[in-house]
Amino acid sequence: MIDGILVDRAFHPGRRTSAAEFATLEDLAHLGPQGAGPHLVLDALAAAALARAHGVEPHAVRDGLRAYRMGDHRAQHLATVDGIDFVDDTKATNPAAAAASLRSAERVVWIAGGDVKGADLDPLITATRDLLAGVVLVGIDPEPFTAALSRHAPEVPVHRVDPGDTDDVAGRSRLMDDAVQAARALASTGDVVLLAPAAASIDQFRDYAERGDLFAEAVARLPGERT
């Protein structure tokens, strides 16, 4: 990266004295509601390097990046409702992935929780606390999250969703509706409501994909102006 430009200094014939431009951050802006986050820029650079290693021309790499769209449940922008963006990154099932996802926005209402499998959440909260406008917790056991948040981000409002009965799809759908509505209440115009749980889904959902699907359905049911 040089001044917002993605360049090749590995496979360009004149690499010892110059670089070949193949894209700009503007070419990646569609990958997130506030532009491509740092982890997505790194992904783009890695993909470009592989393509250039096989002789793909810079303009074709650029066109490929411009045309690329995120897959389901991977930093997927679902909707903008009343100026609030809703992003499904349910695939962020561990703290490192959630940290990368959270850094993609300036101010986030974070939907998190699930089975952390013993992971240490303190580094995650410490690194992202200044980004948090609020936290909505799902999951059977919220204690790993509430403990880390109380230690490192006590000023951030936290809402825990009553787990209720999630043995069937109706119960799981109710849970996600409650989570989305709670996040909407904590968010302001310009914020991102982000499902990046930092935990596995197995305590309440069939799998991470169902968690994301139910989140998308709950967002679709929200009233408000969509842009």
Per residue in 65-100, pLDDT (tens digit) is: 999 998 899 999 999 999 999 999 999 999 999 999
How far apart (Å, rounded) are the C-alpha atoms in residues 65 and 73?
19
**Do residue 61 and residue 154 come from a single domain?**
no
Domain edge (last residue) among 16, 33, 67: 67
Q: CA dihedral defined by 17, 22, 25, 26, rounded to 10 degrees?
A: 130
Answer yes or no: is 226 within a domain. no
Domain edge (last residue) among 21, 50, 67: 67
Answer yes or no: is 16 within a domain. yes
The CATH number of the domain where 137 resides is what? 3.90.190.20
**Do residue 214 and residue 126 come from a single domain?**
yes
**Do residue 90 and residue 136 come from a single domain?**
yes
109 DSSP β-pair partners: 134, 193
3-state secondary structure of 112: strand
For residues 1-9, give the mean pLDDT. 93
pLDDT of residue 32: 86
pLDDT of residue 54: 95
Domain that holds residue 33: 5-67
pLDDT of residue 227: 86
**Do residue 46 and residue 94 come from a single domain?**
no
Answer yes or no: is 134 within a domain. yes
List the structure tokens of 115.
């089975």
Domain edge (last residue) among 14, 34, 67: 67
For 147, what's the count of Cα atoms within 13 Å in the CB-facing half-sphere? 9
How far apart (Å, rounded) are the C-alpha atoms in residues 124 and 95?
6
33-56 confidence digits (pLDDT tens): 888 888 899 999 999 999 999 999
For residues 212-222, give the mean pLDDT. 98
**Do residue 30 and residue 82 come from a single domain?**
no
**Do residue 125 and residue 199 come from a single domain?**
yes
**Do residue 135 and residue 213 come from a single domain?**
yes
Count of C-beta atoms within a 10 Å radius of residue 35: 15
**Do residue 88 and residue 117 come from a single domain?**
yes
pLDDT of residue 3: 92
Closest CA to 220 of 89, 82, 81, 90: 81
What pairing do the DSSP bridges indicate for beta strands 76-81 and 84-88?
A: antiparallel
Number of domains making up the chain? 2
66 φ, ψ to 5°? -65, -35
**Do residue 23 and residue 82 come from a single domain?**
no
**Do residue 130 and residue 171 come from a single domain?**
yes
**Do residue 154 and residue 114 come from a single domain?**
yes
List the structure tokens of 32.
């997130």
**Do residue 103 and residue 172 come from a single domain?**
yes
The band of 16, judged by pLDDT with boundaries at 50, 70 and 90, is: confident
**What angle is formed at CA 197 by the lines to CA 167 and CA 108, rounded to 5 degrees?**
130
